Amino acid sequence: MKDRFMAGFISGVIGGTIASLIDIFLVNNLSFGTTRYIDFASVIELGKTVEGWGEAIFAQLGQSLFSGFLGIGYAYLLKWTGGNYPKSKALIYAAGTWFLIFASVRIGRIPNLPKNVPLSTSMENYIAALIFGLITSYVFTKLNKDEAQSG
């Protein structure tokens, strides 16, 4: 794909959606953590945490679109820093954005989200962020294989 912006967006949407589904599985099925990515998105979009399928789908859509914007950032990070070590850069980018988003939520004291989160929630969201980074990197590399081969 010759359009870096769109390749980044598509990569981020795919990476974010898969990471979010893993996040939901870890919280809902394994009770690892308490606050899912869709809960953060729902509070931003609706002012409250998810209640029901309709709200969950709407929150997931918002979370996936936000991940698409993060994917655009990753695409241009690679352009500005060179294409070497894309997976390492994706992990660093994902960890950094996870920290900034968590810090923003805490500093902003967003209502309807817990003031203190258990360690398991932070760990689970961090793991999902790293999964987002790896998948986004993988998809972006596949979409940009022509650009990578031409230099």
What dihedral angle (degrees, nearest 10) is formed by the CA atoms of 61, 65, 70, 72? 150
Distance (Å, whole) CA 64 – CA 51? 18
Distance (Å, whole) CA 97 – CA 140? 18
């989200």: which residue's tokens? 113
Distance (Å, whole) CA 93 – CA 134? 10
* Tokens linked to 41: 């998105």
Residue 6 contacts residue 75 (beta carbons within 8 Å): no
Extended strands (E) in the chain: none
In tens, the pLDDT along 98-139 reads 999 888 877 877 777 777 889 999 999 999 999 999 999 999
In tens, the pLDDT along 11-54 reads 999 999 999 999 999 999 999 999 899 999 999 999 998 999 99
Residue 58 contacts residue 85 (beta carbons within 8 Å): no
Whether pTM > 0.85 for this model: the answer is: yes
Q: 73: how many CB neighbours lie within 10 A of its CB?
A: 14
